[in-house]
């Protein structure tokens, strides 16, 4: 199986040993505690599950700035986005060498991890802006990722962590949430040698479905990992439970048995376009995928990135040999009226816009909210039914 990124073996930071877990929990109850942001909690979940291999915890300011500006830590590790614990208040942990991190996303704010404090550093407005510019390509507060990042606070707490909880993801998504460790084990159980990873924060329509098939056929893959983001999204995105239900129905009815793994991971969406595409590739290599689909406007939002910037970054900014996973570069896919099937637009230069069935996201939401049927060439009827029920319920509120 493909090696994890930057290591011979995965480095999950969750404390699996029951005795150690219980002892750490008892210790944590007596430590100074910090209520972390949702982003820092999600980072803890990802560190716990091995997705952030080979990192051992939260970055310090020098590493975070180095990663944001040039995608390298001070030690020279290639990494695309800062993995940080930023807060607005540090009075409660002042002088502490070891602290308990509390989860903002669960009632009662239970302890999610224990952190060894290597440094507490104040970050200036200019440094936050520089990191924002490096990661998101902009400091525009209208960008949802920038707004979230800039609102976290101005104190960066660095150091290794030991993770005690996967937050709400295991209880809310017991059939879907998986750590990188679990996904690797399941791939091994399937006996798959080549695996295509598909990232989604949206429901999958016909074009996405066919894109997975195209990638499997082109790479000779044994299976596809449909890997959905389960964490916090921007307003207007479809909730994870609805996406999960629609994707499961699509796979159940339209894919051969034992060719698809439906899983999810506990991370808050960054909307960082090209930088997040590289991060997504690292996640999938750590999961055991050999190939990863990157399509048009991957991890983008609004008009902040060009349609294929997330593919170009692998040519311009990712050092040769840094990643073992291979990128499957996809164009926009749509139903061709001429050919009566889904195609990649780049493969049919003789087509005009009128030869495709294209619906904007806004138009899709309007049709679903009104109870109108989506064209079968655009969406499987069973998928459209689940989405329509969600939007109609939304309109009643």
Catalytic residues: 201-202
Q: Please give the Cα distance from 389 to 386 (Å, whole number).
A: 5
Q: Please give the Cα distance from 347 to 317 (Å, whole number).
A: 27
Q: Please give the Cα distance from 189 to 196 (Å, whole number).
A: 16
Looking up tokens 């990157």 gives 294
Q: Which residues pair with 33 in a beta bridge?
A: 100
Name the nearest CA neighbour of 297 among 338, 331, 336.
331
Instruction: Name the percent of the chain in helix, strand, coil, to the closest 5.
Output: 40, 20, 45
| Burial of 134 per CB tally in 10 Å (0-12, 13-18, 19+) | buried
User: Any idea what the Cα angle at residue 40 is, between residues 139 and 86, rounded to 5°?
Assistant: 60
CA dihedral 346, 347, 353, 359 (to 10 degrees): -80
The token pair at 142 is: 């209208």
Q: String of b and e for 262-294 (b: at least 16 CB within 10 Å)?
A: bbbbbbbbbbbbbbbbbbbbbbbbbbbbbbbbb
Contact 212, 180 (CB under 8 A): no
Q: Please give the Cα distance from 323 to 289 (Å, whole number).
A: 12
Radius of gyration of the CA atoms of the chain, in A:
21
Q: Please give the Cα distance from 134 to 59 (Å, whole number).
A: 16
The token pair at 30 is: 């007596």
């Amino acid at each position: 199986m493909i090696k994890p990124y930057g290591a011979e073996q995965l480095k999950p930071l969750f404390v699996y040993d029951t005795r150690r877990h219980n002892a750490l929990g008892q210790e944590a109850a007596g430590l100074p505690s910090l209520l972390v942001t949702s982003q820092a909690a999600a980072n803890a979940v990802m560190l716990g599950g091995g997705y952030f291999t080979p990192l051992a915890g939260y970055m310090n300011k020098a590493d975070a700035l180095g990663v944001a500006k040039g995608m390298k830590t001070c030690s020279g590790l290639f990494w695309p986005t800062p993995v940080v614990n930023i807060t607005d208040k540090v009075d409660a942990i002042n002088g502490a060498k070891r602290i308990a991190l509390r989860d903002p996303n669960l009632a009662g704010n239970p302890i999610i991890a224990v952190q060894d404090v290597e440094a507490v550093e104040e970050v200036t407005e200019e440094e936050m802006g520089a990191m924002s510019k490096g990661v998101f390509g902009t400091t525009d507060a209208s960008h949802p990722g920038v707004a979230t990042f800039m609102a976290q606070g101005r104190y960066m707490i660095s150091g290794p962590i030991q993770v005690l909880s996967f937050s709400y993801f295991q209880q809310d998504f017991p059939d879907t949430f998986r750590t990188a460790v679990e996904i690797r084990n399941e791939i091994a159980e399937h006996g798959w040698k080549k695996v295509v990873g598909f990232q989604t924060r949206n429901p999958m329509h016909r074009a996405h479905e066919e894109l997975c098939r195209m990638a499997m056929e082109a790479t000779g893959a044994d299976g596809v990992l449909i890997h959905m983001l389960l964490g916090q999204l921007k307003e207007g995105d479809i909730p994870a439970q609805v996406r999960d239900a629609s994707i499961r129905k699509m796979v159940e009815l339209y894919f051969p048995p034992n060719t698809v793994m439906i899983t999810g991971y506990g991370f808050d969406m960054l909307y960082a376009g090209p930088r997040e595409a590289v991060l997504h590739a690292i996640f999938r290599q750590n999961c055991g995928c050999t190939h990863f689909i990157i399509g048009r406007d991957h991890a983008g939002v609004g008009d902040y990135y060009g349609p294929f910037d997330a593919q170009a970054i692998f040519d311009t900014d990712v050092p040769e040999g840094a990643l073992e996973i291979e990128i499957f570069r996809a164009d926009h896919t749509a139903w061709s009226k001429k050919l009566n099937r889904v195609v990649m637009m780049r493969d049919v230069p003789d087509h005009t816009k009128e030869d495709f069935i294209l619906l904007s996201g806004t138009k899709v939401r309007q049709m679903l909210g009104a109870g109108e049927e989506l064209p079968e060439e655009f969406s499987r009827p069973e998928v459209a039914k689940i989405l329509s029920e969600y939007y109609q319920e939304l309109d009643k509120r």
